[in-house]
Structure 1
Amino acid sequence: MSHSSPPVRRVADWDFDQLSSLAAEHGTPLYVVDLDRVAENYERFASAFPDAHVMYAAKAHTGRAVLETLLDAGADIECAARGELQRAIQAGADPDTLQYTAVNPPDADLDYAAELGADHPGLTVTGGARDTFDRLEARGYDGRVAIRVNPGIGTGHHEKVATGKDAKFGIPYDEVPELAADLRERFDLVGLHAHAGSGVLHDDLEDHCRAIAKVAELAREVGDSDLAFVDFGGGFGVPYREDEEPLDMEVVGEKVREAVGDLDAQIKLEPGRYVVADGEVILTEVNTVKETPEATVVGVDASLATLIRPAMFDSYHPIGNVSAPERAVEPVAVGGPCCTSADVFCTDRPVARPEREDLLAIGNAGAYGYELANQFHSQPRPAEVAIEGGETRVVRRRETMDDVTRVERESGDRAGDAAAGDR
């Protein structure tokens, strides 16, 4: 496969006839993921960093089909929770290649990691608090560990993802050398890890590289020749807005290498969003068009339960009219059926005028889209269909009301099986 594929895929680049057919066959709202595009994005990224160890940050999209695709493409997997470790292994990942970045890990997560490490000594556990290492030791774990560093520099598309300056993430920069000396007595200290933020584009690249340079200097201070790797995380963004330009990954690769400088340890990178974001869209049907003095309000069957990023991060997602892209464009507000004013995908957005029963596509839904899907208003989560090699298949069936209520009924609730209309 060539890595010369376009560096960004806009909504208009999708095959609208194919999307219409998928919506007709599988219903809406519907996630559609192009696995070929996911593999292309990974290859483009890896080609920009030929000397780095590139791992996929699973938290962006843990769908089994996505994980299998990336494992087949040669990626290793970085996990931020016990469930992600389990899903990576179920998708075929070798546990000895996994990296677990523990953030305030619950006991059950650490129990699982310690047990996994006992059987698979290649597992690496990254800790961002002294407590995490003490709790690992108490579980008898003495294997591979890395220190998550807080570089004091945050970047990204929203303050809620600028992890590099958030005290929640990592050991304070100045405390790392002392901690490193301590951990070398108790574990196999193999690396340093840092993550400045998420959604980094051109305007954030300078700060991102400053954080990288700072962590690289710290690695040299603690002895990079004694470390297997220095992990600079991911965070590389994709253009969500139509007027944003994609990153030139060859230029990014040069800037990152310049920021790192001479380093004996191997560089690790963990792209997540960059790999999956533009590989997926959400299809949703228009059910209501309401003219008001303030706006033309377009109601659709997707909601913040389908895609919460606009409500959570004020995120922009491009929207296209699949049914009638040739219609005259006019500003509209698009929102879902949830009883909250947060359930809005856009306001005053130019879209080919939607009419009832039109099919709309919400773009760049691959990163943290299905991952954050929920059952608010007792809405079953949507199906997900994969496109690969010209073929399509369901990789997640649509939930039913039976799925939504099963855990209550199986708990011995006195309602028993009396739930009506659960299918």
Structure 2
Amino acid sequence: MTNPADSPAVRRLDDWNRDRLESLAATHETPLYVIDLDRVTANYTRFSSAFPDADVMYAAKAHTGKAVLEAVLEAGGTIECAAWGELQRSIDAGADPNELQYTAVNPPDHDLDYAAELGAENPGLTITIGATDTLERLAERGYNGRIAIRINPGIGTGHHEKVATGADAKFGIPYKRVPAVANRVREAFDLVGLHAHAGSGVLTDDLEDHCRAIERVGDMARRVGDDDLEFVDVGGGYGVPYREDEPPLDLEKTSDMVREAIGDLDAQLKLEPGRYVVADAGLILTEVNTIKKAPDTTVVGVDASLSTLIRPAMFGSYHPMLNVTAPDRDAEPMTVGGPVCTSADVFAHDRPIARPERSDILAIGNAGSYGYELANQFHSQPKPAEVALEGDDARVARRRETLEDVTRLEQ
């Protein structure tokens, strides 16, 4: 295993061992997710080292696979969860429920039932609320434990408007109402922290807006009494460069700016990186099945689709691509799409790629974050397998679904 301290700040597709990738595709078929656990560990260690006095919690929603959760826990991390299933899966991976943080967003009754019961048995569990309704519903369930208040700072950042949560009314208590809600929490619960999350996919150029939101969180912490709080959680959202010419996040600058923005606090700083930990640790291998010349482009058909990776269709996201089989062929503009019957099922438009041929293996990079988590069964396509790499070892972390898996709940 590579020493995490020596790992590069960003891993490009060219950095993967192409012979190993071709062997994985041949052994496990395609489409195939590949997650490198050594890279997960290195990314978490690098980030946490930049914030040595903070509690760095991995945001499980980025990739909730058991192998990933185990790697984070082994690296000394704790876990932030956004749904009851993530809580249970974290516990199954070995997390101490007393160290988990559950960020409830319009939680269904079942989620609150589970969280309240878990908190009763494990008083260290923290529940983050973003609506006073959630307080009332927790009280109805007999919960009187640890509460953090999610603040809506009114400032959103990130790679797309759909992830700029800091300015979205769906998330958090309106800023001006926080002091009154804090007093209300103290009457019936244990107020332990404040929380905010400005957005997702934050890179160095986005830090100014990101830190304006953090500054507001620090101001509010001092206003409600940071000496009476255990922590102030400024969320995650720290990004990785998806495009080949984008530089990686400057962690030293990020650490300096975040600390300056939050200001002097008696409470501990918390952060919740998710994408940063897993994005460049994962990729998708897909096989070329069709080459079609069209008037304005060459269409390359592959066996992966938007049911494999939905981010390009959902967010217009750019994911780097590499012809693993023949990277040295002349590059030509290609439109790469899958077998799903919609124009949204396209991974790249007129992208220069080493000229593919049928049966070539292509790699789709930066798929470790919100890749498998958003995979679906549209067109009755079974979800792909996922292989976990650790040192020289490779193991199936999730087997490939069958059509029986797709239909087994039907009656």
Q: Provide TM-score, normalisation by structure 1.
A: 0.96
Find out whether 1:124 has 2:119 as its counterpart: no
Q: Distance in 2 between matches of 1:70 and 1:203?
A: 28
Q: Distance in 2 between matches of 1:3 and 1:147?
A: 35
Structure 1 residues 139-288: aligned runs within 5 Å: 139-288=141-290
Percent identical among aligned pairs is: 74
Task: State the match for 2:99 in structure 1.
Answer: 97
Task: State the match for 2:363 in structure 1.
Answer: 361
Deviations 1:212-233 (A, max 9, x none): 0110000000000000000000
Deviations 1:159-199 (A, max 9, x none): 00000000000000000001101110010000000000000
Task: Report the aligned-residue RMSD.
Answer: 0.5
User: Is the 1:4–1:44 contact (alpha carbons within 8 Å) kept by the matching residues of 2?
Assistant: no
Deviations 1:101-146 (A, max 9, x none): 0000000000000000000000000000010111001100000000
Query: 2:403 aligned to 396, 401, 404, which one?
Result: 401
Report the CA distance between 1:377 and its aligned residue. Answer: 0.1
User: Is the 2:204–2:250 contact (alpha carbons within 8 Å) kept by the matching residues of 1?
Assistant: no
Q: What secondary structure sits across from 2:382 in the alignment?
A: coil
Report the CA distance between 1:3 and its aligned residue. Answer: 1.9
Q: Provide TM-score, normalisation by structure 2.
A: 0.99
Q: Distance in 2 between matches of 1:87 and 1:307?
A: 22
Task: State the match for 1:88 in structure 2.
Answer: 90
Unaligned runs of 5+ in 2: none
* AA matched with 2:132: R
Q: Distance in 1 between matches of 2:87 and 2:4?
A: 30
* AA matched with 1:34: D
Find out whether 1:329 has 2:336 as its counterpart: no
Q: Distance in 1 between matches of 2:81 and 2:4?
A: 28
User: Is the 1:386–1:394 contact (alpha carbons within 8 Å) kept by the matching residues of 2?
Assistant: yes
Deviations 1:315-350 (A, max 9, x none): 000000000000000100000000000000010101
Task: State the match for 2:34 in structure 1.
Answer: 32
Q: Distance in 1 between matches of 2:374 and 2:4?
A: 32
Q: Distance in 2 between matches of 1:42 and 1:95?
A: 20
Report the CA distance between 1:374 and its aligned residue. Answer: 0.3
Task: State the match for 1:421 in structure 2.
Answer: none
Query: 2:64 aligned to 45, 55, 62, which one?
Result: 62
Report the CA distance between 1:2 and its aligned residue. Answer: 3.5
Q: Distance in 2 between matches of 1:370 and 1:339?
A: 21
User: Is the 2:4–2:41 contact (alpha carbons within 8 Å) kept by the matching residues of 1?
Assistant: no
Report the CA distance between 1:4 and its aligned residue. Answer: 2.7
* AA matched with 2:307: A
Report the CA distance between 1:248 and its aligned residue. Answer: 1.6
Q: What secondary structure sits across from 1:307 in the alignment?
A: coil
Structure 1 consecutive aligned stretches of length 4 or more whose deviation exceeds 6 Å:
none
Aligned length: 409
* AA matched with 1:199: G
User: Is the 2:70–2:94 contact (alpha carbons within 8 Å) kept by the matching residues of 1?
Assistant: yes
* AA matched with 2:299: V
Q: Distance in 2 between matches of 1:158 and 1:349?
A: 21
User: Is the 1:36–1:388 contact (alpha carbons within 8 Å) kept by the matching residues of 2?
Assistant: yes
